[in-house]
């Protein structure tokens, strides 16, 4: 027979109330001796059934997760244009696709690098998929510098950005300004023009805007994805992402 702590406490409280004089008010519900006895009963029960605390913890985490998801859904609705249709964000795949995956990433994020093949495979297998990239440098000055190059490169050579992105995110080593510029030059970029664009105040403003958007969505790590009405944290794999994309197409939500 199972027995929940909540039911136990409720039963104890009801029983204690019954034995008290009917005239006792709320403030005098239990005297010191009665409170001590109840505390002793609860303590003995928890010591004998410590797994109850795990149930309580699981329930708390489930409640917090549900609350966070509701907050994120509201934020996605409020920030929809900035998330899915920001004109300055790089877009891979089909820009007019029937479904959109938004990825917040850092060029020095190991999990982002592992997830790169998921993105490539998803686009190869789904010609109607739009992939929006959010430059989100959170792993130190090298990342910020590399992403500044990426912003500038996308502004100047948007048709070559996909190749740049795949090479820099797939780089075996620390991504920094020198590495990013070297890759950009190998793809035909003019270094002077690139550095001039990197120094533009708008680049800093766009990085700050991405930080704010991530904060509004409760994103504090990479990779993180926005699909439909959900924020997905972590490199969960192609199967998880494609299932959520399929659900959005089917019912407008990642969970049908």
Choose one of 42, 58, 74: the last residue of a domain.
74
Q: Is 256 part of a structural domain of the chain?
A: no
Are residue 245 and residue 211 in the same domain, yes or no?
yes
C-beta of residue 78 within 8 angstroms of C-beta of residue 110: no
Encode pLDDT of 7-38 as tens digits: 444 444 434 433 344 444 444 578 888 888 88
C-beta of residue 210 within 8 angstroms of C-beta of residue 87: no
Are residue 62 and residue 175 in the same domain, yes or no?
no
pLDDT (0 to 100) of residue 33? 85
Q: Is 111 part of a structural domain of the chain?
A: yes
Are residue 70 and residue 89 in the same domain, yes or no?
no
* Enclosing domain of residue 54: 5-74
Are residue 37 and residue 140 in the same domain, yes or no?
no
Nearest 5°: CA angle at 69, between 134 and 83? 25
Are residue 101 and residue 44 in the same domain, yes or no?
no
Are residue 38 and residue 22 in the same domain, yes or no?
yes
Are residue 193 and residue 221 in the same domain, yes or no?
yes
Q: Is 43 part of a structural domain of the chain?
A: yes
In angstroms, rounded to a whole number, what is the distance separating the alpha carbons of residues 99 and 81?
14
Encode pLDDT of 170-185 as tens digits: 999 999 999 999 999 9
pTM confidence score: 0.75
Are residue 135 and residue 37 in the same domain, yes or no?
no
Choose one of 15, 41, 74: the last residue of a domain.
74
- pLDDT band of 108, cuts 50, 70, 90: very high
Are residue 60 and residue 27 in the same domain, yes or no?
yes
Choose one of 18, 50, 74: the last residue of a domain.
74
Is 236 strand, coil or helix? coil
Query: The CATH number of the domain where 92 resides is what?
Result: 3.40.30.10
Kind of pairing between the strands at 129-135 and 99-105: parallel
Decide if pLDDT at 190 tops 60.
yes
Are residue 158 and residue 102 in the same domain, yes or no?
yes
Q: Is 175 part of a structural domain of the chain?
A: yes
State how many domains the chain has: 2
C-beta of residue 114 within 8 angstroms of C-beta of residue 230: no
Decide if pLDDT at 143 tops 50.
yes
Decide if pLDDT at 46 tops 90.
no
Are residue 109 and residue 207 in the same domain, yes or no?
yes
Encode pLDDT of 218-251 as tens digits: 999 999 999 999 999 999 999 999 999 999 999 9
Q: Is 184 part of a structural domain of the chain?
A: yes
Are residue 123 and residue 218 in the same domain, yes or no?
yes
């Amino acid at each position: 027979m199972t027995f929940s702590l909540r039911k136990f406490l409720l039963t104890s409280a009801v029983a204690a109330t019954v034995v008290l004089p009917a005239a006792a008010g709320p403030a005098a519900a239990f005297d010191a001796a009665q409170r001590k006895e109840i505390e002793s009963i609860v303590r003995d029960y928890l010591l004998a059934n410590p797994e109850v605390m795990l149930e309580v913890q699981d329930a708390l985490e489930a409640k917090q997760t549900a609350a966070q998801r509701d907050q994120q859904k509201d934020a996605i609705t409020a920030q929809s244009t900035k998330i899915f249709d920001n004109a300055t964000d790089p877009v891979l795949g089909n820009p007019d696709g029937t479904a959109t995956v938004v990825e917040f990433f850092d060029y020095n994020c190991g999990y982002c690098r592992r997830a790169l093949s998921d993105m490539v495979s998803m686009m190869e297998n789904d010609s109607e998929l739009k992939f929006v990239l959010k430059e989100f440098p959170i792993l130190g000055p090298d990342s910020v510098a590399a992403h500044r190059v990426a912003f500038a490169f996308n502004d100047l050579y948007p048709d070559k950005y996909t190749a740049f992105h795949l090479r820099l995110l797939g780089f075996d080593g620390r991504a920094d300004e020198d590495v990013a510029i070297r890759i950009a030059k190998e793809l035909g970029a003019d270094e002077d023009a690139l550095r001039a664009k990197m120094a533009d105040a708008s680049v800093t403003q766009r990085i700050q805007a991405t930080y704010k958007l991530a904060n509004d969505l409760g994103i504090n790590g990479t990779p993180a994805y926005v699909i439909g009405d959900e924020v997905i944290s972590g490199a969960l794999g192609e199967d998880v992402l494609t299932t959520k994309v399929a659900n959005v197409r089917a019912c407008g939500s990642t969970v049908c």
